[in-house]
Amino acid sequence: MGYTLFAIACYIVMRGLQVLFEEKLQARWCKVLIKTVTVIMLYAALASLITWYKGIPFLGFSPK
């Protein structure tokens, strides 16, 4: 359950950054920031799914 909540939190942060930096979305640093957070969010979501079905800890903390 911990990994799922972490993945949801990453998604909320990603969407919040997009809204927060809406005027700056064309800036290179903003694109890099959004893409970096998106990659972290996708990794966390994948780790959450794998942990849900296999029980393998990928994010460095206990999934429970």
pLDDT of 40-64, one tens digit each? 888 888 877 777 777 666 666 666 6
CB 47 within 8 A of CB 3: yes
Going by C-alpha positions, the residue among 44, 50, 39 that lies closest to residue 9 is 44
Angle at 23 between CA 22 and CA 27, to 5 degrees: 100
| pTM as predicted | 0.67
Rounded distance between C-alpha atoms, residue 28 and residue 34, angstroms? 10
pLDDT in tens, 13-45: 888 888 888 888 889 998 898 889 888 888 888
Start-to-end C-alpha separation, the chain = 6
